[in-house]
């Protein structure tokens, strides 16, 4: 296949008019359009901000969409209580730098109050749904921006850019509104809200290329570093208070980086020597695994793990 | 494996790639899943863990070979029923381009999904089985592409291996299809003989069809123009949002934010704001932080005007010499996309660009059967997946282009004001480039109730 690819490059050069946008410009323009639609049509939008790369790119796009004015949205972080300290520090720094307003919904508070119970496997990812849903109700958010991408997972591939949720935040894939042209329908009843995904059409590689192009600062755990880790379900997990390692799991120091940033209990690190953005991009372009496949224990549970969590109101 | 070499090539070129949005229509029987699977697989877009998951799931269902349809059938209901229900979006890249593929089901009961996929597509791939030739379904797919004004159509004549790679089989199908689609006004048609299963002319040129000198499917996808000369297009900027920092440094800044829907805008150009008709001059264009002299579709920009005039969300900024007429009477073709019907006299909301107005369905003139392009007058209502001609009266004037001139400013949604359901997708103006293709059939009273 290498041969036909090479000849196709040569054959194809120069066919696009000077008005053609690069794919990053096209994706950026589309995302900005989505942010501005929400600002124009909703009363109380909020950006879900985890300090992960996708939410960082979302915030960057929102800043560009409304400059030189301030971003007309607040931020919401669902804190699992097992977050990477580097990511929390990054979150607080960004909030201060741009004068943003941050709401935090805490899984630990829910556990302490007896409203949620710790799972036997220690993972807190599924526990985020209730605090998220209640925060949306409490603050009466009507549009909730998420960093989900359709390339991440096959249930997400069916997700709309504007995705209607009932008052229980539930997603019903059979009752989604068809989405035509760039006409987004955000009508909703009181108590319902719309999840909005400005990065729907981005791939992992697009996100990284955009981060490189825009020179966006990221938490250091996205780059290769030495870390004490142990192996569980084929993934390198960070040792910590959250419940690892168990007696039969041995800790070792490896050079790793994170491809995704989530709850420490179910987000795996990958072996890597990529210390720069360029090296990360090279590594991803050559990877034979999807980012969720490589790093998320919770998606390995079943064929429909993500669909089920999304139906319940998950991100 | 030469992976590292290919990766290096990709990296060198990735920053310069353009984006092609395309749609595929067809059923499993035509080999659509095989074609899509091969495009994804051969462009390295199916990764090891995805393939392992598909293999495991296929095995569990008692299938020996991995069923590539499971890659795109993402919902539990789809996997259980073994059918594609919804549009699935897939992403892949080659050194030349980034692709967004809207994979849509082909059967008549999913026309709305096909319309959805085609609405944003620059190119549509229509699949036929070489053994069957052009069938009703093929004509319907061609009609959807023509109706939605998809600029490029590819006819992939599949399963050439089952007709002994015969040139005359391909030539006769290609000729019949090209004649039909041209009559519907499809501006560019490319027919390619393929075998998705054997891999002929999908990514690699076929060794079995020396008589074919054209591109493979992937080569065509990589090289088809994604944009054209915009200087001849009507420039349109629907205002999404007014940016007013109101800070000590910028007390008077007023910027009109929007995504250019068509054409180009230049600094110094006289512009008119619709529907008010007020005029001004473009004083500046802010392209996401960069001040530019010219901007074009689909860039998201902020326009600064020389005069302080009243502009808000829903207004349309256009060049003063090229303003569309405003109207309250919309004649259009609609595709009904909701489960509840659309009836004469129904009160709806009409969403056009960034403007939503009240409207009433005055008339449903006809229902159109896409298989044979027959028109059925006064059907009384439209139900899910119906295509029809309607007249709608709006409460306020709209600056509406004909869909043939501008897909983005000629399209609209009809929305149920009670529950917000998207009822229908509308295209203003004539359905097809030529009117003569349509025939009228008088139905018996109540035929489709």
Average pLDDT of B217-226? 92
Q: Write down the pLDDT at residue B354.
A: 97
Cβ-contact B238, B260 below 8 angstroms = no
Reference A268, options A226, A297, A227; nearest CA is A297
Integer Rg of chain A from CA: 20
| pTM attached to this predicted model | 0.90
Are residues B7 and A286, on separate chains, in Cβ contact within 8 Å?
Answer: yes
Q: What is the pLDDT of residues A216-238, one digit of tens each?
A: 999 999 999 998 888 887 788 88
Distance CA B248, CA B143 (A): 57
Q: What is the pLDDT of residues B243-297, one digit of tens each?
A: 999 999 999 999 999 999 999 999 999 999 999 999 999 999 999 999 999 999 9
Share of chain B above pLDDT 70, in %: 86
Pair A103, A244 in one domain: no
Q: In the CATH hierarchy, which fold is given to the domain comprising B231-319?
A: Elongation Factor Tu (Ef-tu); domain 3 (2.40.30)
Can you give the residue ranges of every domain in chain B? Answer: 3-223, 231-319, 326-440
Q: What is the pLDDT of residues B368-401, one digit of tens each?
A: 988 888 889 999 999 998 999 999 999 999 999 9
- Which domain does A223 fall in, by range? 219-300
Q: Write down the pLDDT at residue B74.
A: 59
- CB neighbours of A311 closer than 8 A, spacing ≥ 6? A170, A171, A172, A173
Pair A144, A246 in one domain: no
Whether B447 shows a pLDDT value over 60: the answer reads: no
Residue-averaged pLDDT of chain A: 84
Whether A10 shows a pLDDT value over 60: the answer reads: no
Q: What is the pLDDT of residues B175-202, one digit of tens each?
A: 999 999 998 999 999 999 999 888 899 9
**In chain A, how many domains are there?**
2
Element (H, E) at B40: helix B32-42
Query: Quick check: A311 contacting B, CB < 8 Å?
Result: no
Whether B137 shows a pLDDT value over 70: the answer reads: yes
Average pLDDT of B60-78? 66
Cβ-contact A282, A253 below 8 angstroms = no
Q: What is the pLDDT of residues A190-216, one digit of tens each?
A: 889 999 999 999 998 899 999 999 999
User: Best mutation site among A98, A178, A190 for testing chain B: the one with the most B CBs within 10 Å?
Assistant: A178
Average pLDDT of A92-104? 95
Pair A72, A199 in one domain: yes
Q: Write down the pLDDT at residue A14.
A: 46
Q: In the CATH hierarchy, which fold is given to the domain comprising B3-223?
A: Rossmann fold (3.40.50)
Distance CA B281, CA B303 (A): 10
Pair A294, A266 in one domain: yes
Is residue A210, in this structure, part of any structural domain at all? no
Residue of A nearest to B312 (CA): A40
Residues of chain A found within 8 Å of residue B4, distances taken between Cβ atoms: 286
Pair A253, A184 in one domain: no
Are residues B88 and A158, on separate chains, in Cβ contact within 8 Å?
Answer: yes
Q: What is the pLDDT of residues B88-110, one digit of tens each?
A: 888 888 888 899 999 887 777 77
Among B16, B354, B415, select the one facing A185 at the smallest CB separation: B415
**Which string of b and e fits B312-341 if b means at least 16 CB within 10 Å?**
ebbbbbbbeeebbebeeebbbbbbbbbeee
One CATH from 3.30.420.40, 2.40.30.10, 3.40.50.720, 1.10.3720.10 for B326-440: 2.40.30.10
Distance CA B213, CA B207 (A): 11
Reference B91, options B47, B142, B132; nearest CA is B47
N-to-C CA span, chain A: 38
Pair A30, A155 in one domain: yes
Domains B3-223 and B326-440 share a fold: no
Which residues of B204-269 form beta strands (DSSP E)?
Answer: 237-238, 241-243, 255-259, 264-266
Residue-averaged pLDDT of chain B: 87
CA angle centred on B159, ends B158 and B164, rounded to 5°: 125
């Amino acid at each position: 296949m290498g041969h036909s690819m090479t000849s196709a490059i040569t054959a194809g050069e120069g066919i696009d008019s000077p008005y053609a946008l690069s794919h990053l410009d096209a994706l950026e323009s589309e995302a900005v359009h989505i942010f501005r639609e929400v600002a124009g049509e909703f009363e109380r939008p909020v950006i879900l901000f985890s300090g992960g790369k996708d939410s960082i790119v979302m915030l960057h796009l929102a800043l560009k969409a409304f400059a030189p004015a301030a971003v007309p949205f607040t931020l919401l972080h669902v804190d699992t209580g097992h977050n990477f300290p580097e990511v929390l520090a990054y979150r607080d720094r960004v909030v201060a730098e741009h004068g943003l307003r941050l709401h935090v919904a805490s899984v630990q508070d829910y556990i302490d109050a007896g409203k949620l119970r710790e799972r036997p496997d220690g993972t807190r990812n599924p526990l985020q749904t209730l605090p998220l849903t209640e925060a949306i109700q409490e603050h009466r958010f009507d549009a909730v921006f998420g960093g989900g991408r359709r390339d991440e997972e096959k249930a997400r591939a069916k997700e709309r850019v504007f995705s209607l949720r009932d008052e229980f935040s539930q997603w019903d894939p059979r009752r989604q509104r068809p989405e035509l042209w760039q006409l987004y329908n955000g009508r909703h009843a009181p108590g319902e809200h719309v999840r909005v995904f400005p990065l729907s059409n981005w791939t992992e590689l697009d996100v990284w290329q955009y981060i490189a192009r825009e020179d966006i600062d990221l938490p250091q755990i996205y780059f290769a570093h030495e870390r004490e880790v142990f192996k569980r379900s084929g993934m390198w997990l960070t040792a910590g208070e959250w419940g690892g390692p168990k007696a039969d799991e041995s800790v070792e120091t490896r050079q790793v980086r994170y491809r995704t940033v989530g709850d420490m209990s179910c987000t795996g690190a990958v072996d890597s020597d990529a210390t720069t953005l360029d090296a990360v991009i090279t590594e991803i372009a050559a990877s034979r695994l999807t980012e969720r496949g490589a790093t998320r224990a919770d998606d390995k549970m079943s064929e429909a793990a993500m669909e089920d969590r999304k139906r319940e109101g998950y991100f | 494996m030469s992976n590292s070499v290919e990766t290096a090539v990709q990296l060198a070129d990735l920053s310069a790639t353009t984006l092609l949005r395309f749609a595929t229509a067809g059923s499993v029987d035509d080999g659509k899943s095989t074609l899509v699977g091969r495009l994804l697989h051969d462009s390295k877009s199916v990764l090891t863990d995805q393939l392992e998951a598909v293999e495991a799931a296929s095995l569990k269902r008692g299938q020996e070979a991995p069923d590539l349809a499971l890659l795109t059938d993402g919902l539990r209901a789809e996997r259980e029923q073994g059918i594609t229900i919804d549009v699935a979006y897939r992403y892949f890249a080659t050194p030349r381009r980034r692709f967004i593929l809207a994979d849509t089901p082909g059967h008549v009961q999913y026309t709305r999904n096909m319309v959805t996929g085609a609405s944003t597509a620059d190119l549509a791939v229509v699949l036929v089985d070489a053994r069957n030739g052009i069938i009703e379904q093929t004509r319907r797919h061609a009609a959807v592409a023509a109706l939605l004004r998809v600029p490029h159509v590819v006819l992939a004549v599949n399963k050439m291996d089952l007709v002994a790679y015969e040139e005359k089989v391909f030539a006769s199908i290609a000729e019949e299809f090209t004649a039909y689609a041209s009559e519907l006004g499809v501006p560019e048609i490319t027919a390619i003989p393929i075998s998705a299963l054997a891999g002929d002319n999908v990514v690699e040129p076929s060794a079995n069809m020396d008589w074919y000198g054209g591109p493979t499917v992937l080569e065509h996808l990589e090289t088809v123009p994604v944009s054209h000369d915009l200087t001849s297009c009507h420039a349109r900027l629907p205002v999404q949002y007014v940016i007013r920092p109101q800070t000590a440094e910028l007390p008077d800044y007023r910027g009109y934010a929007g995504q250019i829907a068509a054409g180009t805008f230049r600094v110094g150009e006289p512009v008119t704001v619709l529907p008010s008709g007020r005029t001004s001059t473009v004083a500046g264009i802010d392209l996401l932080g960069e001040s530019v002299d010219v901007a074009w579709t689909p860039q998201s920009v902020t326009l600064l005007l020389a005069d302080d005039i009243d502009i808000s969300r829903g207004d349309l900024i256009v060049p003063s010499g090229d303003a569309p007429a405003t109207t309250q009477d919309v004649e259009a073709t609609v595709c009904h996309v909701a489960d509840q019907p659309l009836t004469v006299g129904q009160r709806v909301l009409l969403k056009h660009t960034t403007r939503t107005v009240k409207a009433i369905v005055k008339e449903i003139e006809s229902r159109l059967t896409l298989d044979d392009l027959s028109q059925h007058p006064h059907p009384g209502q439209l139900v899910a997946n119906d295509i029809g001609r309607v007249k709608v009266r709006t409460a306020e004037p709209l600056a509406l282009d004909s869909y043939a001139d501008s897909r983005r400013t000629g399209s609209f949604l009809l929305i149920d004001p009670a529950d917000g359901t998207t009822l229908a997708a509308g295209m203003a103006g004539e359905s097809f480039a030529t009117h003569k293709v349509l025939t009228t059939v008088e139905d018996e009273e109540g035929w489709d109730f």
